[in-house]
Amino acid sequence: MPASRFPDPRQATQEGIVAVGGDLDVATLVDAYSHGIFPWPQEGLPMLWFSPLERGWVDLTKDLQVPTRFSRKFEKWKREGRVEVRIDTAFSDVIGRCQVAKRKGQDGTWILPEMIAAYERMFDRGFAHSIETYLDGQLAGGLYGVFVQGVFSGESMFHTVPDAGKVALMVALRMLKQAGFSFVDVQMVTPVVASFGGELILRDEYLNRLELAQKRWERKVCRFEWVPGPVSLSPTL
């Protein structure tokens, strides 16, 4: 890994805090993500940077899990011609809807205005991306994340129609798997992510896998172009 302005994430506190303070410039965020660190603001505190003891991921070297009931609904939407998935055509809408999405057990959101501005800058520089689900021509679900050195880190997802967010997640996982990527970083494992194979691994293992993934990217073992527009929903997608 290249040198970092951050401390070694293996020396994080018991709570997973690596550093306190700092800015949300693109260079800072790229540095953080490339070393397995992500920002997680807490109200009333300076910016906190985390690398938790246990990290959520989806192992793409395994067969992908897709919930049966959801799979049937998705195939029905496809047959009826109701569903379309696009890349990077509504990033601002996606992150804005993730900000206001209702989440069980949460009263607020970590997606503060300064975080939105930061990830908008990341998007402009090609480091952040959105996958969007449209039903009957309307944006109904999606997710956004960060893509740095051949590793996609999912940040947040939303839906206005049940299961529409899951479509974006499934398509993202399948596209990256087909392109030869070994995992997707999901940071935390929610019940939805768990239903698609998300699990927790120890930080040391994650950091080792991160370094291996970066080396595979540098050697061009895997490649993926984030081309804005519709995604072909072939039989495998």
CATH number, domain 9-51: 3.30.70.3550
- State the pTM of this model: 0.94
| HSE-up of residue 45 (Cα within 13 Å, Cβ side) | 12
Q: Taking the CA atoms of the chain, what radius of gyration do you get in angstroms? A: 17
Contact (Cβ atoms closer than 8 angstroms) between residue 120 and residue 129? no
> Is residue 107 scored above 50 in pLDDT?
no
Structure-derived torsion over alpha carbons of residues 124, 130, 135, 138, reported in degrees to the nearest 10: -30
What's the mean per-residue pLDDT of the chain?
94
> Is residue 54 scored above 60 in pLDDT?
yes
Please give the average per-residue pLDDT across 148-154, as a whole number.
97
Task: Give the closest residue to 64 by CA, choosing from 202, 210, 184.
Answer: 184
How far apart are the C-alpha atoms of 118 and 188, rounded to whole Å? 21
- The encoded tokens of residue 126 equal 């090609």
How far apart are the C-alpha atoms of 103 and 236, rounded to whole Å? 30
> Is residue 149 scored above 70 in pLDDT?
yes
Please give the pLDDT value at position 2: 64
Task: Give the closest residue to 208 by CA, choosing from 151, 155, 156.
Answer: 151
Please give the average per-residue pLDDT across 83-106, as a whole number.
89
Q: Please report the beta strands in 107-198, taking only residues with DSSP state E, as ranges in sequence order.
A: 128-135, 138-148, 151-159, 183-187
Please give the pLDDT value at position 1: 61
Please give the pLDDT value at position 178: 95
Please give the average per-residue pLDDT across 108-124, as a whole number.
90
CATH entry 3.20.20.70 includes domain 56-230: no
Q: Which amino acid is at 56?
A: G
Between 193 and 110, the more confident residue is 193
Maximum alpha-carbon separation in the chain? 52
Please give the average per-residue pLDDT across 185-204, as a whole number.
97
For 82, phi then psi, to 5°, come to: -95, -20
Count of CB atoms within 10 A of residue 207's CB?
19
Instruction: Give the DSSP letter of residue 110.
Output: S
How far apart are the C-alpha atoms of 71 and 183, rounded to whole Å? 21
Q: Where in the chain is the domain with CATH 3.30.70.3550?
A: 9-51
Q: Where in the chain is the domain with CATH 3.40.630.70?
A: 56-230
